[in-house]
Amino acid sequence: MKAIIVDAGIGGLTTVLFLKKYGIDCEVYERAPAIQELGVGINLMPHAIAAFDEIGMLPVVEKSGIAPDLLFYRTGQGLIVWDEPRGRRAGLPYPQISIHRGRLQRLLYDAFEARSPGAVHVDRAFISCHNTGRQVVANFVSASDERFAARGDVLIGADGIHSQVRRILFPDEGEPRWSGRLTWRGTANWSKFGNGKHFVVAGSNDARLVVYPDSRRRDGRYIADR
């Protein structure tokens, strides 16, 4: 069996590592011209870390991120709401891990590249697919308008909230509905706060500040998401 995966984001690369574990060949087609470490932080809950452990990624993910061990909830004025331990400190078998999104994608890409060299193809934007009765044929286009076709036994769309695969399979579904809420994301070099593994949530449901470290710099300072 062979699977065609559309896009090499975190979802697509995690999927191919699971498929590879069970002996299923995969080819991944990514629209971007290169795999780059872009974005800001992401929080992986213990149940997500358990899944990464299944594909042998726990040691490298834990080493590359920060495992928050205490979460502080505060009001917008800084008053205490409650505090709670997280991950292993809370008695769970796996940690919670905060990590830069681009770094996590790179770790997953490197792991798959080591197991299936050359199976990730960049500059390939998915445009259409059809079923021959025996296989699925997926069609892609490059930035220079070159056309490519890939054949496999199954097609998996991992191409995000504006998925072209979903548009084709479910043409009447319509666009995603916006909740009306905005999130402003950013990172900054910060000095250590708390023990360097603390997670802060302050504010209310209508206006909230979330601050946490997602990596440690060589000079001892931290990179914090907020």
What is the C-alpha separation between 27 and 46, in angstroms, rounded?
Answer: 29
Burial tier of 124 (Cβ tally within 10 Å: 0-12, 13-18, 19+) = buried
Percent of the chain at pLDDT exceeding 90: 72
pLDDT digits (tens, 9 = 90+) for 122-139: 999 999 999 998 999 999
Contact between 72 and 203 (Cβ < 8 Å): no
Task: Return the ∠ at Cα 157 (arms to 153 and 60), rounded to 5°.
Answer: 100
Contacts of residue 91, defined as CB under 8 A and 6 or more positions apart, other chains included, come to 85
Tell me, what's the pLDDT at 222? 57
Higher-confidence residue of 101 and 221: namely 101
Q: How far apart are alpha carbons 164 and 158 in whole angstroms?
A: 10
- pLDDT tens, residue by residue, 174-204: 888 888 888 888 888 877 778 888 889 999 8
Query: Cβ(116)–Cβ(26) under 8 Å?
Result: yes
Q: 35-92: per-residue pLDDT in tens?
A: 999 888 899 999 999 999 999 999 999 999 999 999 999 998 888 899 999 999 999 9
- Quick one: angle between helices 46-54 and 10-21, nearest 10? 40
Pairing of strands 70-74, 80-85: antiparallel
Kindly state the average pLDDT of the residues 158-185: 90
